[in-house]
Structure 1
Amino acid sequence: MQNINNHANYETSSSGSNPPPSSNKLALIAAILAAIALLGCIALVVWNMSLKNQLSALQKENESLHTKTETLTTQQKKSDSEQAKLKKIALLSYMSHNLEDAVVTNDFVIDKIYFTANNSGEVESITIDLENQPMMALVYEGDGVYSISNQAVSAKASELIKTAKEYYGSDKDVPAWTNDTTVKLTVKNYDLGEYAKGSFKLAAGK
């Protein structure tokens, strides 16, 4: 009888020391879930770092593209400015040929005309070399000097400049010939005088 009780007590003691199978399964599932969560966190951190690197690279590319765009815009503006300036210079050359031998008064004929453009291509100054009409040739003494009064010479020179300016202004595409544009007159390359600010002044010694 005592042996039977001892055997029963042994079985009871043995069965109490081992956890039930369901507890082992729960622990395993918890461990697996923890591992999955850890892997998920690691993957999320790696993905986040990769995303940050991609965003940083994209920002750098955008900055580089912006810089290149600004550079191209500046170059384009410079190119447009140069083209506009060259166009104005070409128009001035075209007008030079148009005015030569075409602008005449009773006293003078434009033999040569030279336009000087400023940095923006606008007319800054003009030099006109004249040929005498027959009546003026009779009173021409050479070296840009005439035997008629200075007042008469100035009036005839002013008339020639006015006629040339009107002819020039008939083409609306050319750079402006303004009242600030100085005009130097020569006769056979000898100084005659200069027109500036609305009045003509004979060269010194005339």
Structure 2
Amino acid sequence: MNEQLEGAVAVAQPAIKPEPKTLAIRILVIVALILAITSCGAAAILYVKSNELAETNDAQGALIAEQAKKIEGLSAKISKYDKQISEISAIKNLAKNHTTTLNLMAMQHLIEGGVVTDDFTVEKLHLISEDNEKLLVNIDIGMQPSMKALYVGRGTFNLSDRELRAKSQTLIAAVKELYGPSESYLPKWDDNNVYVTIKNYEIGDTTSGTFKLAGEK
């Protein structure tokens, strides 16, 4: 009888439910596991990507180094060519200067003895080129017989300044005419850079823009 009562009491007792605190802990554990698994997966993905980026960076670094080496080689070649071009340019300038000198010498011989006025002859002519551009002209004159009697010496004549100036200008014009216009193979004639001498004594020059006698300066 007692056993039947105990069984009835046992049946009548309600089932024990888990406490809310225990359930929350279980949920937290599950969430933690999920987060841990997710973190591990993300870490694995990041590791793979990191390796891929490292390989890409290595490849790009090697490519950049190769390109830098090629650029260095090209720079060396360019420097070599620049040097050769400079040497060729120097040779061309030297050849041009030499050619100009030869042309001026030929012109000097042509004018010497080839230019004659009623009063003077060209005894000696010096054509000097400065940088193949500016031309300096020095005319050392000889005298016609009529002028020899008027020559006092040391570049002085028994003539008025006006007469000597006019006779000198006539000679300069004759020399300029034979020299010719500005030919490509000769420096340009400079009207303001002409000197007239006799036996190396100065008669006058055109440096002021017009011909002036030595005594007029």
2:107 alignment partner in structure 1: 95
Shift in Å at residue 177 of structure 1?
0.7
Q: 1:53 to 1:131 in 2, by over 3 A?
A: same
Q: 1:110 to 1:141 in 2, by over 3 A?
A: same
Aligned partners of 1:88 and 1:174 also within 8 Å:
yes
Is residue 114 from structure 1 mapped to residue 110 from structure 2 by the alignment? no
Cα deviation, 1:31-83, whole Å, max 9, x if unaligned, reads xxxxxxxxxxxx99998776555433222111111111222222222322232
Shift in Å at residue 191 of structure 1?
1.6
**1:108-187 paired onto structure 2 within 5 Å:** 108-118=120-130, 120-169=131-180, 172=183, 173-180=185-192, 182-187=193-198
- TM-score by length of structure 1 reads 0.68
Q: 1:123 to 1:95 in 2, by over 3 A?
A: farther
Cα deviation, 1:73-109, whole Å, max 9, x if unaligned, reads 2222232223222222222122111111111111100
Q: How many positions carry a matched residue from both structures? A: 164
Q: Which amino acid aligns with 1:168?
A: Y
1:203 alignment partner in structure 2: 214
2:82 alignment partner in structure 1: 70
Q: Which amino acid aligns with 2:101?
A: I
Q: Which amino acid aligns with 1:142?
A: G
Q: Which amino acid aligns with 1:200?
A: F
- The range that moved more, 86-95 or 131-140, is 86-95
Aligned partners of 1:144 and 1:186 also within 8 Å:
yes
Quick one: which of 50, 66, 73 aligns to 1:61? Answer: 73
Q: Which amino acid aligns with 1:108?
A: F
Shift in Å at residue 176 of structure 1?
0.8
- TM-score by length of structure 2 reads 0.65
Is residue 104 from structure 1 mapped to residue 116 from structure 2 by the alignment? yes
Q: CA RMSD in A?
A: 2.8
Q: Unpaired segments of 5 or more residues in structure 1?
A: 1-42
Distance 1:135 1:171 in 2: 34
Q: Unpaired segments of 5 or more residues in structure 2?
A: 1-54
SS at structure 1 position matched to 2:188: coil
Q: Which amino acid aligns with 1:156?
A: K
Q: 1:136 to 1:60 in 2, by over 3 A?
A: same
Q: 1:171 to 1:59 in 2, by over 3 A?
A: closer
- For the pair shown, which has the larger CA radius of gyration, 1 or 2? 2
